[in-house]
Structure 1
Amino acid sequence: MTSLTAQFIQRYGESDEPIRQFFAPGRVNLIGDHIDYNGGLVFPCAINHGTTLLIRKSNDNTVKLASLNFDLMAVLSESETERKYGDHWINYPLGVLQQYRQSAIDMTGVECLYSGNLPSAAGLSSSAAIEVATAYALNEIHKTGLDLVEIACLSRRAENEFVGVQCGIMDQYAVCMGQENHAMKLNCQTLQHEQIPLNLGDYRILLVNTNQRRELSESKYNERVIETQKALSLMQSVSDAKQLADVSLKALEAHQDLFTYYPTHFKRARHVVTEQARVIQAVQALKLGDLRKFGDLMYQSHDSLALDYGVSSEPLNLLVDITRDNPSVIGSRLTGAGFGGCTVNLIEQSHIDQFTEEVGQQYLSATGLTATFLPIDPSQGVHEQDAGIIEEFVA
């Protein structure tokens, strides 16, 4: 396989400017989904798969964007970087450029080559990885002086304001602040976080991709944001809650009459407040070394996401249900936005091959889809690499 540097030069030619290489990981959320934009606690980790960016300054005031994963290559003038291009991947780096531009920082005059080994639309934050890789690399080559929290917030704004997905801060924050062999308990209101060692013993994290395609900005993700905002406004009529995650289950149930004409909104709110409690319990279980309790909470989380929040799918439910009676798996749930994507599983390391073969066949027979199995390791957040590292691709 040709090195990334050689492929970069093949596209853009030689130059006296140095080629620099950066890596931004994907992330998996172990528990605590759809509560980051409700001010809740989440528990993600960065993973050892992600997006590599090779970048070099140029002198022609254009932005050149290319990817080894997608066909579209763009050469854009400054004015052409200010608009969105359909649903193309280039919107993620363009959103970052817009954020820098709004801060009166000129980032034109760059050549970029992206290479990722994260499946897109799989709930592993491939979009956040592109955004953070871009924001971090531009910050480094232009010596802008932003810290990692500022880079995470800038990248989130790019997705909210330019791409049009009303995500919370979790994805970009985890991609920035990941730590090897740790997950982080993140308070999405205060951005305070605690790194928790992942002492999994004989178990490993296994992702299973449904390969059920979905586009986040075209899904019902933004609809869930609106529904929970409405639920918050109803609860604010009887409380001083600033975010929906501030509401207790007892208070929510005590005021269920407020939701007489909004029964769906009540279910959405119930997921948020119970998921908040599950994150707290899950982190405590992990600190005590109680992996089975942690796994039980993963199953509870999935059921809440499926029944109360309505973001699961038949393929996701099937993959989780298959594991419930499998003694080698102690926890399983959908991860990320849902509507397709991946399940995250805690499985005995020694049973991964057997599980992959058996579950893969069951899933194919039931759905006609081929699942992809990906063991992952909690890893470091965004960082610079030595240029020329060869990237492996994952289907």
Structure 2
Amino acid sequence: MSAQTVATAFQRHFGYAAPLLVRAPGRVNLIGEHTDYNLGYVLPAAIDKEIYFAVGLNGGHEIRLVSHDLNDCCTVAVDQLHRTDTQWANYLLGVAAQLQQRGIVLTGFDCVFGGNVPVGAGLSSSAAVECGLAFALDQLLATHIDKMTLAHVAQKAEHEYAGVMCGLMDQFASLFGRDGHVVRLDCRSLDYEYFPFDTQACRIVLCNSGVKHSLADSEYNKRRQECEQGVRILQQHYPEVQSLRDATLAQLQAHQAEFDEVVYRRCRYIVEENTRVLQACEALQRQDLVGFGQFMHASHAGLRDDYQVSCPELDALEEAARGLPGVYGARMMGGGFGGCTINLVAPEQVEAFLEQVSAAFEARFGRRPDTYQTSIVGGVSQVVGEQVTAGIGQ
């Protein structure tokens, strides 16, 4: 898959050339899971698994969308934007609807998109789709929206059109990624800081459990509700606690008797995970990958035992990686209930790591997991060299 592939498909579908070409990366998150919607800290990076877009204004009154990978189409009138039964299209239509709600005069446009971000692997293919189109429309309509606002546009699209009450991390990472860096985002203040991460000195290896998950299912939104319930309990004693970001472990423990056991464990995980992100960044600054990896394993244990969003396949992958030569750390990544583990591995040990983890997984589940080695790249951008002036349709 390349930008040229979607450009060719665009001309074939719509009969005119010269679309704007855009790439939007998926993301990994080294540590800080489910903390974003609790206004805490996350540590993501954009990666070289990407969605490519060819987008052009068509001079009419329709939005015409083509999923190249699914070989499927969807058409909606600009003045009748609504959620459809075509789930993949809702991510794109939600972006268009958000722009309209912000007072932007939207004209008809055509879009072909496709890429190599594995769907359901926890690499945020949905955020890449949203952010890529938001960026493309901003360019074509010359609306000059800043990147943070585009991230919010994409996030609200997912809330209102895909039905997933996600935090801001995925969209932020896709737009704000920097080559060779991870970025710590404070999800309350939206301050962020880049930290160098050399993927040639330490490889990021993903192992896919093969279990497909949908963040739109009830469990994801239920976790958010449980966290909000915990905040309400704490606010009775500490009015300054507006989110779990503001809570301390001591505060939780002092009022444990007032909590439902499950809600308490959810809140404990979030409070501890926020602390782990800050400690992990300190380890990065010391170039202490062994220390960083210990925080990753602790994160997995919390996600497995307290937040309960793991699954047997993810647990088996993390367990198989733990203690192998050259493995600094491993944990499940993403919303949970499937997807990938993220592993930090010394370059000279990657081949042996992949063989040993795959063999252990196959012995238990009867199949070998898909694996990916990833590099850290920059955020959403126009494809230079293949881009030509946006065309007007017939």
Output the TM-score relative to the length of structure 1. Answer: 0.94
Aligned counterpart, 1:60: 60
Aligned counterpart, 2:336: 338
Deviation at 1:379? 1.0
Task: From 6, 9, 21, give the equivalent of 2:8.
Answer: 6
Deviation at 1:30? 0.2
| Aligned amino acid, residue 150 of structure 2 | I
1:280 and 2:278 are equivalent in the alignment: yes
| Aligned amino acid, residue 165 of structure 2 | Q
Task: From 291, 314, 326, give the equivalent of 1:328.
Answer: 326
Matches within 5 A, 1:177-256: 177-199=176-198, 202-239=201-238, 240-256=240-256
**CA–CA distance in structure 2, aligned partners of residues 218 and 369 of structure 1:** 26
Moved more, 288-297 or 192-201: 192-201
| Aligned amino acid, residue 253 of structure 1 | Q
| Cα distance per residue 1:268-316 (max 9 Å; x no partner) | 0000000010001000000011110000000000000010000000000
Deviation at 1:360? 1.9
The count of aligned residue pairs is 384
Deviation at 1:200? 5.8
Identity rate, percent: 35
Alpha carbons 2:321, 2:353 under 8 Å: kept: no
Task: From 284, 291, 294, give the equivalent of 1:293.
Answer: 291
Aligned counterpart, 1:393: none
Deviation at 1:355? 2.2
Aligned counterpart, 1:138: 137
| Aligned amino acid, residue 154 of structure 1 | V
Alpha carbons 1:3, 1:388 under 8 Å: kept: no
Aligned counterpart, 1:392: none
Alpha carbons 2:55, 2:136 under 8 Å: kept: yes
> What SS does the corresponding residue of 1:105 show, helix, strand or coil?
coil
**CA–CA distance in structure 2, aligned partners of residues 29 and 73 of structure 1:** 32
| Aligned amino acid, residue 104 of structure 2 | I
Alpha carbons 2:6, 2:68 under 8 Å: kept: no
Moved more, 271-280 or 156-165: 156-165
Task: From 373, 376, 385, give the equivalent of 1:375.
Answer: 373
> What SS does the corresponding residue of 1:89 show, helix, strand or coil?
helix
Deviation at 1:327? 1.6
**CA–CA distance in structure 2, aligned partners of residues 52 and 131 of structure 1:** 12
Deviation at 1:219? 4.6
Aligned counterpart, 2:391: none
| Cα distance per residue 1:73-118 (max 9 Å; x no partner) | 11222245x2222362111000001101112223231110101100
Q: What's the C-alpha RMSD, in Å, of the aligned pairs?
A: 1.6
Aligned counterpart, 2:116: 117
| Aligned amino acid, residue 75 of structure 1 | T
> What SS does the corresponding residue of 2:72 show, helix, strand or coil?
coil
Moved more, 98-107 or 263-272: 98-107
Task: From 347, 350, 353, give the equivalent of 2:351.
Answer: 353
| Aligned amino acid, residue 128 of structure 2 | A
> What SS does the corresponding residue of 1:23 show, helix, strand or coil?
strand
Deviation at 1:8? 1.6
| Cα distance per residue 1:139-191 (max 9 Å; x no partner) | 01000110000100111111112211011111111111110110111100010
| Aligned amino acid, residue 351 of structure 2 | D
> What SS does the corresponding residue of 1:353 show, helix, strand or coil?
helix
**CA–CA distance in structure 1, aligned partners of residues 345 and 86 of structure 2:** 36
| Cα distance per residue 1:116-152 (max 9 Å; x no partner) | 1001111111000000001110001000110000100
> What SS does the corresponding residue of 1:90 show, helix, strand or coil?
helix
Alpha carbons 1:211, 1:369 under 8 Å: kept: no
1:270 and 2:268 are equivalent in the alignment: yes
1:150 and 2:152 are equivalent in the alignment: no
Alpha carbons 1:27, 1:47 under 8 Å: kept: yes
| Aligned amino acid, residue 166 of structure 1 | M
Alpha carbons 2:9, 2:68 under 8 Å: kept: no
Aligned counterpart, 2:302: 304
Alpha carbons 1:31, 1:43 under 8 Å: kept: yes
| Aligned amino acid, residue 197 of structure 2 | L
Matches within 5 A, 1:152-171: 152-171=151-170
Q: 1:376 to 1:346 in 2, by over 3 A?
A: same
| Cα distance per residue 1:374-394 (max 9 Å; x no partner) | 1111110011003649xxxxx
| Aligned amino acid, residue 245 of structure 2 | A
> What SS does the corresponding residue of 2:382 show, helix, strand or coil?
strand
> What SS does the corresponding residue of 1:75 show, helix, strand or coil?
strand
1:74 and 2:74 are equivalent in the alignment: yes
